């Protein structure tokens, strides 16, 4: 487990993929990407390489304010041992009302853990850039950010989540 930070809130990154050589060189790994994007002064950030079977222990979970689940080349609807363990962990974290942010695969596996259905898209891969319109009534603290009303996002996936209710804990 790697750590960053000195004091304050504590977050864990649940790393669901191996680092590419490029990301290692540019950011020190995917952990560095997420910390650079999300970290605020004084926070502590740890990483767990869940795709390699490294999970936080049950008695450590209370130490964290929240978790980030990364992308992966694995299927969120699959039954690899680590995927099943991650689903069980996310169910525990949800019961504990921990903040959970899922990115790409992380969003899909979180949807599965919360009772949604994750399947292969019947239309195949969805690749490209899509413009999205943000809701004018974003939950706090997102509502305090100066975000544009429309964003262009890159999309690259072949799985989809259906029937899920999202909760925001801030």
pLDDT surpassing 60 at residue 159: yes
The CATH number of the domain holding residue 94 is 3.40.50.880
The pLDDT of residue 128 is 83
The residue with tokens 């990483």 is 47
For 44-95, write each residue's pLDDT tens digit. 999 999 999 999 999 999 999 999 999 898 889 999 999 999 999 999 999 9
pLDDT surpassing 60 at residue 162: yes
85 within some domain: yes
- Reference 115, options 140, 90, 132; nearest CA is 90
pLDDT surpassing 50 at residue 18: yes
The pLDDT of residue 94 is 94
pLDDT surpassing 60 at residue 4: no
The pLDDT of residue 73 is 86
CA distance 167 to 117: 16
- State how many domains the chain has: 1
166 within some domain: no
Which pairing describes strands 117-120 and 159-162: parallel, antiparallel, or unpaired? antiparallel
69 within some domain: yes
CA distance 44 to 55: 17
45 within some domain: yes
- Reference 112, options 80, 153, 156; nearest CA is 80
The pLDDT of residue 129 is 87
80 neighbors 99 (Cβ within 8 angstroms):
no
Q: What's the mean pLDDT in 35-52?
A: 91
104 within some domain: yes
Could you tell me which residue, 146 or 159, shows the higher pLDDT?
159
- Reference 76, options 12, 157, 156, 159; nearest CA is 159
CA distance 81 to 61: 20
155 within some domain: no
16 within some domain: yes
Q: Other CB atoms closer than 10 Å to residue 17's CB: what's the count?
A: 18
- Give the pTM: 0.77
157 within some domain: no
For 112-141, write each residue's pLDDT tens digit. 999 888 888 888 887 888 887 877 776 656
Domain containing 82 equals 3-121
Least confident range from 15-19, 25-29, 64-68: namely 25-29
The pLDDT of residue 100 is 94
């Amino acid at each position: 487990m790697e750590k960053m930070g000195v004091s304050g809130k504590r977050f864990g990154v649940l790393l669901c993929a191996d680092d590419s050589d490029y990301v290692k060189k540019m950011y020190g790994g995917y952990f560095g990407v997420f910390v650079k994007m999300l970290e605020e002064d004084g926070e502590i950030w740890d990483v767990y390489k869940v795709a390699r079977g490294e999970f936080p222990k049950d008695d450590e979970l209370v130490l964290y304010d929240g978790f980030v689940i990364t992308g992966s080349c694995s299927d969120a609807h699959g039954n690899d041992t680590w995927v099943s363990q991650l689903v069980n962990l996310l169910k525990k974290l949800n019961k504990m009302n921990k903040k959970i942010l899922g990115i790409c695969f992380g969003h899909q596996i979180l949807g599965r853990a919360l009772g949604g259905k994750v399947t292969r898209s019947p239309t195949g891969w969805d690749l490209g850039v899509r413009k999205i319109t943000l809701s004018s009534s974003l939950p706090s603290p997102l509502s305090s950010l100066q975000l544009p009303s429309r964003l262009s996002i890159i999309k690259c996936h072949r799985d989809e989540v259906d029937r899920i209710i999202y909760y925001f804990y801030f």
